[in-house]
Structure 1
Amino acid sequence: MRIGVLLLPTDPWRQSLALAQRIEEMGYDHLWTYDHLSWRRYREQPWHAAIPWLTGIAAGTHRIRLGTMVSSPNFRHPVTLAKEAMTLDHISDGRLTLGIGAGGIGFDATVLGGEVLAPGERAARLDEFVGTVDELLREPATSRRGDFYTVDEARMIPGCVQRPRLPLAVAAGGPRTMKTVIAYADAWITEGDPEKIRANAARLDESGRRIDRILLADNGADRPLASVDAFVDLVGRYQELGFTDLVFHHPRPDDPVWTDDPAMVERIATEVLPKLG
């Protein structure tokens, strides 16, 4: 199983870059950040844009894969997101995975003056969004008209470094969004209720699609950074469900949720990663 770390784009830049470089040095496989305009309890705190933030990380690292966790149709358009992702794929020498989700009901949902969509509408919008991004990143020119997006002769030249396009990792937690994963995704992102995860893993099994499965570990009952044993136990449980990747939040002394000892990140790197490789 590959292990990744999620960093919030909230700290001073030099601090963020130094931490990302250290995470790469420790041998972690991938590094992610949230793609929001503002987020939950950090709404009144510094919060940087995900794509420029990842661009800076790409320029300062060499090996580690990078990704959005996850880009949202709440404030993104497929054409501009695809163009930015294609460019970042070049800057990173083909190290980008584009994570995409349906968009929640928080601050980002109304910041551009729109209304919060019902769950079914968000699922339908996600399907069209991902399908449009998929086509844009595969083709030099794209035109299409849907229920949510119109694309008129969009150019995506020179195309991605990764072929036929950079990987799309789609977040899904229910039957409708899992259909989008099965149709388009190179990886499935999930979190939360283990029983729902198990049911969706079974749907993916039944589809016959063999794609990566990425667990975003929360800090609820599992508390993966409580100890090395807790982390190893979580990895083992999700390996049994066919998961290929696990991502955890880097601890933050100023956060009420991710309160574990930051030294655990080093311990996992030295005591666990070599055994997973």
Structure 2
Amino acid sequence: MVEWYLFLPQVRLSAADITARARVAEASGFDGIAFIDHLEAPGLPGESIWEAMTVASWVAAKTERLRIGHLVLCDAFRHPAVLAKQAVTLSDASEGRFDLGLGSGSWPAEFTRFDVGQLDPVARVTQLGRHLSLIKQYWGDGGDGDGAVQLPKRAHPIPLVLGGSGPRMMELVRNHADWWNLQANHIDRLPKLAPNAGDARVSVQQMIGFVRSGSDPQTVREVSTRRFGNLGAGLICGDADELIGYFAGLAAQRVERFYVWFADFAAPESLHEFGESVIKPFSGAVAGLR
């Protein structure tokens, strides 16, 4: 059984817009929602973007069933002791609905602009490895019992999602992750990279140009490609049947979670129709292909 998450960058949207989309996603059969983590909108420094943990907490309070997470939090932005405490707090407040997505940082320009983090990508991944061990220690999962443990301890599992594709990151995935996520602009590398994820479950981030009932397929493809054609294979356009076939192909490659990124910025009508025409019939359609 695959899981469906709405990937919703909190850029150009009000808090009310984000809440509304989260509630529609929940009502439409999505299992979770994931946000981004940046100090400025990547490539759009003049646009508004909300802080990642705060918006996740707000959406958790406004929903009942959706799991909440990120693709992914930037390790450099928070001390591991603070992040460990935030994760436990949000997990408990949401009754176990929080996933901790974490990465080493993907937008070095903001490191320079805001004087945070390290520019050397190797150093960032090395630091992430140390911080992952510390977070587990703070949760009481360190094993040797010699380090500081925070109270209260977590009452629910907090799945760890790691994003990235380099060899050093994949080693961290094998050693620490419950889930490994492949970002949209590397989706064509899935067959090569997935075997390196070890026991971690596989998820992918996928941009879609969803051709809704009554819409013009050519227009949807043109607009989606103009906006997000730079993602290459990370953008797929099609109607419900075409998307079911596409996602079934990914599921056959041991992908168990889809972070769906809508080229129309997750219009509520798209979320509702996607739930009815793709999510609900997907399991039956896949079973019929076997």
When normalised by structure 1's length, the TM-score is 0.83
**Greater shift after overlay, 121-130 or 110-119?**
110-119
- CA deviation map 1:104-124 (0-9, x unaligned): 243432344256433322221
Between the aligned partners of 1:91 and 1:63, the Cα distance in structure 2 is: 13
The residue matched to 2:255 in structure 1 has which SS?
A: coil
Between the aligned partners of 2:237 and 2:140, the Cα distance in structure 1 is: 39
- CA deviation map 1:56-98 (0-9, x unaligned): 1111111111101111123221111111111100111100001
**Greater shift after overlay, 76-85 or 223-232?**
223-232
Choose which of 186, 193, 200 in structure 1 pairs with 2:186: 193
Between the aligned partners of 1:74 and 1:18, the Cα distance in structure 2 is: 30
Distance apart, 1:34 and its partner CA: 0.4
When normalised by structure 2's length, the TM-score is 0.79
Query: What pairs up with 1:149-160 in 2 under 5 angstroms?
Result: 154-160=148-154
**2:164 counterpart residue number:** 172
Between the aligned partners of 2:116 and 2:18, the Cα distance in structure 1 is: 32
- CA deviation map 1:116-162 (0-9, x unaligned): 4333222212222222222222359x999xxxxxxxx7552112231
Q: Unmatched 5+ residue regions in structure 2?
A: 208-227, 284-290
Contact 2:41 2:48 in 1 (8 A): no
Between the aligned partners of 1:187 and 1:115, the Cα distance in structure 2 is: 24
Choose which of 13, 23, 26 in structure 1 pairs with 2:25: 23
The structure with higher relative contact order (CA 8 Å, sep 6+) is 2
Between the aligned partners of 1:26 and 1:194, the Cα distance in structure 2 is: 25
Contact 1:227 1:264 in 2 (8 A): no
**Greater shift after overlay, 221-230 or 70-79?**
221-230
Identity rate, percent = 21
- CA deviation map 1:222-271 (0-9, x unaligned): 4335322342233122112211001122344xxxxx6x876433222001
The structure-2 alpha-carbon separation of the partners of 1:86 and 1:245, relative to structure 1 and needing over 3 Å to count, comes to same
Between the aligned partners of 2:238 and 2:268, the Cα distance in structure 1 is: 10
Q: Unmatched 5+ residue regions in structure 1?
A: 145-152, 253-257
**2:254 counterpart residue number:** 242
- How many residue pairs match? The answer is 257
Query: What pairs up with 1:91-106 in 2 under 5 angstroms?
Result: 91-106=93-108
Choose which of 261, 264, 270 in structure 1 pairs with 2:270: 264
Shift >4 Å, 4+ stretches: none
**1:233 counterpart residue number:** 245
Between the aligned partners of 1:91 and 1:225, the Cα distance in structure 2 is: 38
**2:4 counterpart residue number:** 3
Contact 1:39 1:107 in 2 (8 A): no
Distance apart, 1:45 and its partner CA: 2.0
Which structure dedicates a bigger proportion of its chain to helix? 2
